[in-house]
Amino acid sequence: MTVLGNQAVRDIETVLHPYTNLAAHRDTGPLMLERGKGVFVYDSRGKDYIEGMAGLWCLSLGHGHEELIEAATAQLRKLSFAHLFNGKSHDPAVELAEALKGMAPTPTSKVFFCNSGSEANDTQVKLVRYMNNALGRPAKKKIIARDKAYHGVTVASASLTGLAANHTDFDLPIPGILRTACPHYYRGAQDGESEDDFTSRLAAELEALILAEGPETVAAFIAEPVMGAGGVVVPPASYFPKIQAVCDTYDLYVISDEVICGFGRLGTPFGCQALGFRPDSISVAKALSSAYVPIAAVTVPETMYEATLEASRRIGVFGHGFTYTGHPVAAAVALKTLEIYAREKIVEQVAAKAPQFLAHLRRLADHPLVGNARGLGLVGGIELVADKATKRSFDPKLGVGARCVRFAEEEGLIVRALASDTISICPPMIITPAEIDELFARLDRALARTLESVRHG
């Protein structure tokens, strides 16, 4: 029986942990992290760990960046808080909106600020409804998301999410959310089906869904360029162009969920640019402030803005927003983050380091436990399987992915187990070539220990 220390007991008795087996947590306790520097974090005993997940896909510039700390401190001294309700504003929000408009991959009229990717995608649902009501299209409300998608955990954004654990016992999804196939070629392709045939079939299935529902009732399509929590799914190159054509044909508003992929993660400024599609709007969060302060944003095209303008003129108010929408401290940190990305050429750095990162991933494809290794830019996943030849997954009750994560932690690496025992890797974008090599050396040791544990039950 594990004897838990005082810190662990205090945590167990006070904190409700997200995405945690709460029953198991009472026995194992937390990993108590105390400080961080660069790509490393240190626990309460002083042990170092490579942050192989950049926190939760978000800590792009690593820990302890003095310019971000100073930006927050200076803004706290100048204007600690101001809201944007009732026409009030402040320079950091205006300057950040200008910066995002200037760099957005799609024509943007306005920027709406919120506090997380979940809130951003929840806002997307509301804005699509608001726009179509204003345009006299009250039936055009359904939104298509994909199997294994992750778009958040609010009532609306969790409904967009295509993962069972986000729905079970929460009475989700809400009505009006449709589901189409996940572009996971390794798992979804039929026997003998090429990548091009696979993507043609998925586009045809999307079109059939729209026609079955009635195009006049289907409003939008939302997608992550590379799927994150659903298993780091990188679609075939022909997927998004074919999906885009279907959306264009039936006048679907296309939303790119850039919460993970935005600001350079894939080696391009935004993920949609790497995957070849043209959204009407994007949702951003996470790397917008390098996770130093919570902030997120939604871009609003002119057509949507004009519709919301007319509706709010009729109603008397645009009845949406949060206390911390455009928080001046968060906006100031985000502005400094964008400045650093540009000055340090972070996107170009990612593109330069990606071949080394992806070569390590491809090497792991030969490991006896790895059925599929996939990635793009500085994000990757390795899917653990019981049988490489047949792609047979392990029984979920065995917890093989969780075992690998635990061994990695013991080896000084923080990674995460996702759907189908996929181990995800998403280091801070400032990781050095030597640190990439060390990350995979620690992962190699964890995989060796996982293989040993599987062989011996």
- pLDDT tens, per residue, the chain with 457 residues: 466 788 889 999 999 998 888 998 998 889 999 999 999 999 989 999 999 999 999 999 999 999 999 999 999 999 999 999 999 999 999 999 999 999 999 999 999 999 999 999 999 999 999 999 999 999 999 999 999 999 999 999 999 999 999 999 999 999 999 999 999 999 999 999 999 999 999 999 999 999 999 999 999 999 999 999 999 999 999 999 999 999 999 999 999 999 999 999 999 999 999 999 999 999 999 999 999 999 999 999 999 999 999 999 999 999 999 999 999 999 999 999 999 999 999 999 999 999 999 999 999 999 999 999 999 999 999 999 999 999 999 999 999 999 999 999 999 999 999 988 999 999 999 999 999 999 999 999 999 999 999 998 7
- How far is Cα 144 from Cα 130, in angstroms, rounded to an integer? 17
**Contact present, 12 and 4 (Cβ < 8 Å):** yes
Q: Nearest 10 degrees: CA dihedral of 254, 255, 258, 264?
A: 30
- How far is Cα 17 from Cα 24, in angstroms, rounded to an integer? 12
**Contact present, 175 and 242 (Cβ < 8 Å):** no
In CATH terms, the superfamily for domain 31-64+345-455 is Aspartate Aminotransferase, domain 1 (3.90.1150.10)
Terminus-to-terminus CA distance in the chain, angstroms? 20
Give alpha helix (H) positions in 344-413.
346-364, 400-410
Helix and strand numbers, DSSP H then E, in the chain: 16, 15
pLDDT of residue 6: 86
**Contact present, 147 and 179 (Cβ < 8 Å):** yes
Instruction: Delimit the domains of the chain by residue range.
Output: 31-64+345-455, 68-343
Burial class (CB in 10 A: 0-12, 13-18, 19+), 56: middle
Other residues' Cβ atoms within 10 Å of the Cβ of residue 30:
17
Can you read off the two tokens belonging to residue 135? 């345009």
Residue closest to 274 by CA, chosen among 226, 309, 217, 231: 226
pLDDT of residue 3: 64
Residue closest to 42 by CA, chosen among 402, 50, 59, 17: 50
- How far is Cα 19 from Cα 418, in angstroms, rounded to an integer? 11
pLDDT of residue 2: 62
**Contact present, 25 and 12 (Cβ < 8 Å):** yes
**Contact present, 117 and 152 (Cβ < 8 Å):** yes
Local structure of 154: helix, strand or coil: coil
Can you read off the two tokens belonging to residue 349? 């750095």
Residue with token string 């195009």: 215
Can you read off the two tokens belonging to residue 296? 């997120």
**Contact present, 205 and 181 (Cβ < 8 Å):** yes
**Contact present, 291 and 60 (Cβ < 8 Å):** yes
**Contact present, 270 and 262 (Cβ < 8 Å):** yes
- How far is Cα 367 from Cα 408, in angstroms, rounded to an integer? 16
- How far is Cα 339 from Cα 102, in angstroms, rounded to an integer? 13
pLDDT of residue 64: 98
Do the two domains 31-64+345-455 and 68-343 of this chain adopt the same fold? no
Give alpha helix (H) positions in 236-301.
239-249, 271-275
- How far is Cα 84 from Cα 90, in angstroms, rounded to an integer? 8
Q: Which residues of 313-326 are buried (b: 16+ CB within 10 A; e: fewer)?
A: eeeeeeeebbebbb
- How far is Cα 306 from Cα 311, in angstroms, rounded to an integer? 9
pTM for this one? 0.96
CATH number of 68-343: 3.40.640.10
- How far is Cα 379 from Cα 397, in angstroms, rounded to an integer? 27
pLDDT of residue 27: 87
pLDDT of residue 369: 98
